[in-house]
A and B are shown apart, each in its own frame.
Chain A
Amino acid sequence: EPEVTQTPSHQVTQMGQEVILRCVPISNHLYFYWYRQILGQKVEFLVSFYNNEISEKSEIFDDQFSVERPDGSNFTLKIRSTKLEDSAMYFCASSERGGVLNEQFFGPGTRLTVL
């Protein structure tokens, strides 16, 4: 069964450093998403991406965040200058459709630790 994959599974970085989290969505999916989950809290939406553009973003997704689909398979989330409070699990998701019928499939997550 096709699945969303994410790398790395765990990333440790120093405050102020840039990190890039990588995702490979399910191959026939057209809509892509990033979420984060701070330890012990609920999953929060960051950004959605379709047709090489951001379609929606939350208040969390400020100027230090960016997303990119650099080729036909990868979808990346970049954090330019990490802060302690960016420590969280980051999930990538994809869906075949958008709008009402967007059943989303999640990757296994990348645990980001900022020291």
Chain B
Amino acid sequence: GIQVEQSPPDLILQEGANSTLRCNFSDSVNNLQWFHQNPWGQLINLFYIPSGTKQNGRLSATTVATERYSLLYISSSQTTDSGVYFCAVSSSGGSYIPTFGRGTSLIVHP
């Protein structure tokens, strides 16, 4: 099946800093989502972005499907941004069920 690698695995920031999270995948995809898992374990939809660029407040995401990666940008980070960020993709050549990466664990210090 498709392989999904996220980097970095861990990230520690001071409040106000910017960051870029990366998701690489091993096959062409027809579906890609970014999620934030908060400290209570809830999975929050951030972006549905199989291609192109989207922005929502301080967050934005870009997927370059031809080069098999997606980036999540967090600007002016806040302590509430802490948690784990997951990328989930569905392969064009296979099932439509998403495969999750192992996530990037983000801690934002005040």
Contacts and interface: CB of A to CB of B under 8 A. Distances in A.
A89 B99 CA distance: 17
Contact of A109 (B42, B90, B100): B42
A102 B98 CA distance: 9
Contacts of A101: 31
Contacts, number: 53
**In terms of DSSP, what is the predominant structure of the interface of chain B?**
strand
B43 A103 contact: no
Contacts of B35: 106
B99 to A, nearest CB: 8
B51 to A, nearest CB: 12
Nearest to A43: B100
Interface of B: 30-31, 33, 35, 40-45, 48, 86, 88, 90, 95-103
Interface of A: 33, 37, 41-45, 48, 56, 58, 89, 91, 98-106, 108-109, 111
